[in-house]
């Protein structure tokens, strides 16, 4: 049975175990420290089926920018993509943060992740103008350090 619920600290071991595999072997686990599961669980969600993660979203309200929220990390089991799980997670996040005063949501992705770029566009995000382009998409050069360009998205709720 499928269930969408808030993420808990107890979910960390299962998710951290699969996250690199879900990204095709890319080392992503370092971007997902346990603190997100401990300190942002009110605005982070998981879809599980039969006690196993099928998808998750880690997001939070900005403490520095009132009215803004940020989606930090989203994962969907590759065997479950195209089932609408990501959309369900985003819609729950939007509803939750809007209920707490957010009017804008931000997120970033790597320009090489064309699937993510297409998904965010389909969800209504706009791409913020950057300092250059990569793969035909505006990017913010060195956003996450030298050589780590990012596509920056914004959505008005």
Q: What is the pLDDT along the chain (157 residues), one digit of tens a residue?
A: 899 999 999 999 999 999 999 988 889 999 999 999 999 999 999 999 999 999 999 999 999 999 999 999 999 999 999 999 999 999 999 999 999 999 999 999 999 899 999 999 999 999 999 998 988 899 999 999 999 999 999 999 9
In terms of domains, do 41 and 82 share one?
Answer: yes
Q: What's the rounded Cα separation, in Å, for the pair 8 and 34?
A: 10
Give the CA-trace dihedral at 125, 6, 23, 62, to 10 degrees: 50
Q: What's the 3-state SS for 65-126?
A: CCCEEEEEEEEECHHHCCCCHHHHHHHHHHHHHHCCCCCEEEEEECCCCHHHHHHHHHCCCE
The DSSP bridge pattern shows strands 126-127 and 52-61 to be unpaired
Return the ∠ at Cα 28 (arms to 4 and 36), rounded to 5°: 50
What is the total count of domains within the chain?
2
Domain boundary among 85, 101, 117: 101
Can you give the CATH number for the domain in which 72 is found?
3.40.630.30
d(CA 14, CA 143): 30
Reduced to 3 states (helix: H, G, I; strand: E, B; else coil), residue 127 is strand
Residues 96 and 108 in one domain: no
Q: What is the structure's pLDDT at 26?
A: 87
Can you read off the two tokens belonging to residue 27? 């080392």
pLDDT attached to residue 65: 97
pLDDT at residue 24 in the model: 87
CA distance 53 to 89: 13
Q: Which domain holds residue 138?
A: 103-157
* Judgement on whether residues 12 and 74 belong to the same structural domain of the protein: yes
CA distance 124 to 122: 5
């Amino acid at each position: 049975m499928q269930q969408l619920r808030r993420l808990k600290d107890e979910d960390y071991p299962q998710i951290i175990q699969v996250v690199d595999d879900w990204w095709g072997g890319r080392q992503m686990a370092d971007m997902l420290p346990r603190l997100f599961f401990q300190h942002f669980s009110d605005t982070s969600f998981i879809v599980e089926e039969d006690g196993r993660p099928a998808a998750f979203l880690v997001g939070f309200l900005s403490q520095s920018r009132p009215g803004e929220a940020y989606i930090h990390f989203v994962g969907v089991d590759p065997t479950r993509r195209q089932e609408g799980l990501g959309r369900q997670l985003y819609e729950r996040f939007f509803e939750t943060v809007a209920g707490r005063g957010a009017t804008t949501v931000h997120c970033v992705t790597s320009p090489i992740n064309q699937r993510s770029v297409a998904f965010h566009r389909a969800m209504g995000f706009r791409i913020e103008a950057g300092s250059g382009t990569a793969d035909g998409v505006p990017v913010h050069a060195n956003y996450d350090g030298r050589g780590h360009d990012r596509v920056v998205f914004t959505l008005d709720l």
